[in-house]
Amino acid sequence: MIVTEASRQLLEDCGVDSDRLSLEWASAAEAPRFVELITGYVSKIRDKGPLGSSDGEVSRDTIKRRLAAAVKAAGARKPRTLLGNLAKKLSKSGDYSKEAIANGVKAKVLPAMRSERISHELRILLSEAPLDMKSLCTQTGASAEELEKIMAPLVKKGLISQKKGKIALVAGE
């Protein structure tokens, strides 16, 4: 449930309707219930339409790019450690209510996942062409302060450079 909640919030962060991910239970003896669940879920997705066409979703290309970055973010060490710590904390407190999990993920894990996602997306975008700050903000969906914070370590490492308002990937990377 914690992993699903984390995935859900990561998807929402990428501009995907999180209702597209569902977690349900059906025991081995509950075939009728299983059929009901699947039928309901498929008709729900059918109503939503293809990925990127539901309410509040961004365009398909943007989603694809963000998800490519999100895959890397979900595998990064920092968010995974935080997720593990959160799981430990929740099991200690014994509170597995939906709200407790959602709030925990939102407070502890989501910020790390988001900044990892934006950092990877930045590199994907810049590998195509140098961009200015404003278009980077609109493409990644991050605010300027957020973006600057994420870019600072990358500039320090010499991975990206900032000249005359244009941001580019340093060659030979």
Partner 1 sequence: MAKENAVEKEKEMTQEGFDPKILGFFCHWCCYAAADSAGVSRYQYPPNVRVIRVMCTGRIDARFVVEAFRCGADGVFTGG
* Cβ partners under 8 Å of residue 161, min gap 6: 155, 167, 168, 169, 170
Using CB under 8 A as the binding rule, whether residue 38 contacts partner 1 is answered as: yes
Tokens matching residue 31 = 């075939």
CB of 166 to partner 1, least distance (A): 29
Q: Could you say which residues in the range 73-102 bind partner 1, by CB under 8 A?
A: 74-75, 83
CB of 157 to partner 1, least distance (A): 25
CB of 155 to partner 1, least distance (A): 27
Q: What is the DSSP string of 63-113?
A: HHHHHHHHHHHHHSHHHHHHHHHHHHHHHHHT---HHHHHHHIIIIIHHHH
Q: Which residues bind partner 1 (CB under 8 A)?
A: 3-4, 6-7, 10-11, 14, 16, 20-35, 37-39, 41-51, 63-64, 67-68, 70-71, 74-75, 83
